């Protein structure tokens, strides 16, 4: 598996019907996806693992990522819960393991020492962080022996994350966008619709292509095989400088995920 992340991966969060992810993962992998993103808190790792096993794609060709839940960030719980995630997923190594949120039981020194231990034991290939601020990223980098491979945050044209994109470029990790379509909010933005109509593409493809043009990987979820294929094809849409400038000029901000306890609200 490459040390970089594919531009489009499969996000697997849902409020209910966790069982659906067995079939969605299988279909996605057979369609060409090579990055599957889940989390302990999604309560679907077993079904994601079944989808991995059902697909014809060799395991070594797929980047599998999960995230340690906030209640499991004490060092002994990091180890035990990650071993449990591996069991549920039916694999012997995680390609990427994230701290899901730096809250609750998170302690930079102790939590990240446990992540380093998992890397040293060969259970985890790469360490990721999620929902961190620049200050928290600085602190994490001070404590980690392993390099930060990825930082996952909400990112889309209505939440462009310029500071965190610049931070990722400066420090050599990949920014990964969850909710990259803002739960459909991007579909009705006039600037995005205009670019989509001119380029014979969908608003979803334009938004994902905008992320790719800015060096951001994305993990959209999709409800149908057609949407899976459309999302996977988005990076082939070569946006012009004019297209990107039009999207960059959108004068609206919107976050899907914005709890009061989020690090950026404290």
User: Per-residue confidence at 1, pLDDT binned at 50, 70, 90?
Assistant: very low
Q: Which of 42, 98, 167, 178 is catalytic?
A: 42
How confident is the model over 77-88, as pLDDT tens digits? 999 999 999 999
Residue identified by tokens 């966790």 is: 18
Q: Distance between CA 128 and CA 151 in Å, rounded?
A: 6
Q: Distance between CA 54 and CA 30 in Å, rounded?
A: 10
- Residue 263 phi, psi dihedral angles, 5° rounding: -55, -35
Share of the chain above pLDDT 90, in %: 97
Read off the tokens for 50.
Answer: 């079944």
User: Per-residue confidence at 47, pLDDT binned at 50, 70, 90?
Assistant: very high
Read off the tokens for 42.
Answer: 């999604």
3-state secondary structure of 169: helix
The residue-averaged pLDDT of 163-187 equals 97
Q: Distance between CA 226 and CA 38 in Å, rounded?
A: 21
Residue 193 burial by CB count (10 A; 0-12/13-18/19+): exposed, middle or buried?
A: middle
pLDDT of residue 223: 77
What integer best gives the mean pLDDT of the chain? Answer: 96
Q: Does position 55 have pLDDT exceeding 70, yes or no?
A: yes
Q: Does position 2 have pLDDT exceeding 60, yes or no?
A: no
Read off the tokens for 248.
Answer: 């960059």
pTM of the model: 0.96
pLDDT of residue 110: 98
How confident is the model over 65-81, as pLDDT tens digits? 999 999 999 999 999 99
How confident is the model over 187-234, as pLDDT tens digits? 999 999 999 999 999 999 999 999 999 999 999 998 799 999 999 999
pLDDT of residue 173: 97
The residue-averaged pLDDT of 257-262 equals 97
Known catalytic residue: 106?
A: no
Conformation bin of residue 240: beta by default, left when phi > 0, alpha when psi is -120 to 50: beta
Among 44, 49, 116, residue whose Cα is nearest residue 78: 116
Among 8, 70, 13, residue whose Cα is nearest residue 33: 8
Residue 132 in contact with residue 102, Cβ under 8 Å?
A: yes
Q: Does position 130 have pLDDT exceeding 60, yes or no?
A: yes
């Amino acid at each position: 598996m490459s040390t970089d992340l594919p531009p489009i991966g499969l996000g697997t969060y849902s409020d209910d019907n966790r069982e659906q992810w067995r079939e969605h993962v299988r279909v996605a992998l057979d369609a060409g996806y090579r990055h599957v993103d889940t989390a302990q808190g999604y309560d679907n790792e077993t079904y994601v693992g079944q989808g991995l096993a059902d697909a014809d794609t060799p395991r070594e060709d797929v980047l599998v990522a999960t995230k340690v839940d906030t209640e499991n960030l004490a060092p002994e719980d990091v180890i035990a819960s990650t071993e449990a995630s591996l069991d549920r997923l039916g694999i012997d190594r995680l390609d990427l393991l994230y701290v899901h949120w730096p809250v609750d039981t998170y302690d930079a020194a102790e939590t990240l020492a446990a992540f380093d231990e998992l890397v040293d034991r060969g259970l985890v290939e790469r360490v990721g962080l999620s929902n961190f601020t620049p200050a928290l990223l600085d602190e994490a980098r001070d404590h980690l022996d392993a390099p930060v491979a990825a930082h996952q945050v909400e990112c889309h044209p209505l939440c462009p994350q310029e500071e965190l994109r610049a931070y990722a470029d400066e420090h050599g990790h990949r920014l990964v966008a969850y909710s990259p379509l803002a739960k459909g909010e991007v579909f009705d933005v006039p600037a995005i619709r205009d670019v989509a109509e001119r380029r014979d593409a969908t608003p979803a493809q334009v938004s994902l292509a905008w992320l790719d043009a800015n060096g951001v990987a994305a993990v959209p979820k999709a409800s149908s095989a057609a949407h899976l294929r459309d999302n996977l094809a988005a990076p082939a849409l070569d946006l012009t400088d004019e297209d990107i400038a039009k999207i960059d000029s959108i004068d609206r901000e919107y976050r899907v995920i914005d709890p009061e306890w989020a690090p950026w609200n404290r």
